[in-house]
Structure 1
Amino acid sequence: MIIRVLNLGQYRFDESHMDNLNACDDAVEAAVAAGDQEALTKALKTLIDEIQELGTPLPADSLEDSDLIIPDADATLADVQELLEGASAEEGFIPGRGV
């Protein structure tokens, strides 16, 4: 699976770690639902840290399609709400379960 983190690049990610990402994604969804920008920023940083820790970065010149796209940690509530509308809103950014 290829995950793109906006403004950071792409990471090859083993699907066996999806539970880690789902827990982080739940926190992102909860922050958006609460309208809490501070909590959103913290949750996005945690999600991105997990992706970077557990994933393998792809070269900058790689042309692989991304399976998932995650906003950067500086994304606003409005940015994330817009991105979630394009994704399956019940599942957040990471498929598998929602809050």
Structure 2
Amino acid sequence: MIVRIMGEGQWVLADDKIDQLNAVDTDLEKAVSANDEDGFRTAFAALLDFVRNGERVPDDVLHDSDAILPPGDSTLAEMRELISGDGLIAG
């Protein structure tokens, strides 16, 4: 799976990491749904860190992204507008 973080680049995550990615995304969705600012910050940072631990795609290589995450400075209000019933990562 290829995940883009807006303004940063793309990372490849191994197929065996998808369930973990979805679990971190679920934590984010719960924090946003609860309007929990501290929980949101913690969960969003964890999601971004999880993705950044994947294999970085060189900037001169462009692939279609399977998921696109907002930049790290996104607010809880902005995230509320982006999250669907499946979180940021569909699946």
With the shorter chain as reference, the TM-score category is: 0.7 to 0.9
Contact 2:33 2:80 (C-alpha < 8 Å) held by counterparts = no
Alpha-carbon separation, structure 2, partners of 1:63 and 1:52:
17
What's the TM-score once normalised by structure 1's chain length? 0.81
Matches of 1:62 and 1:37, distance apart in 2: 35
Aligned-residue RMSD, C-alpha: 1.4
Partner of 1:40: 40
- Name the residue aligned to 2:90: 95
Q: Distance in 2 between matches of 1:69 and 1:48?
A: 11
Give the alignment's TM-score, normalised by structure 2: 0.87
Q: 1:66 — aligned with what?
A: 65
Q: Deviations over 1:62-98 (max 9, x none)?
A: 22111101123321112112222xxxx22111222xx
Tell me, which stretches of 5 or more residues in structure 2 are unaligned? none
Q: Where does structure 1 lack aligned partners over 5 or more consecutive residues?
A: none
Q: Is the 8 A contact 1:9 1:60 kept in 2?
A: yes
- The answer to whether the 8 A contact 2:13-2:51 is kept is yes
Number of aligned residues:
91
Cα distance in 1, alignment partners of residues 23 and 14 from structure 2: 16
Cα deviations across residues 32-85 of structure 1 (Å, max 9, x unaligned)?
Answer: 1111222111111111111122x110111222111101123321112112222x
* Identity across the alignment (%): 40
The equivalent of 1:27 in structure 2 is 27
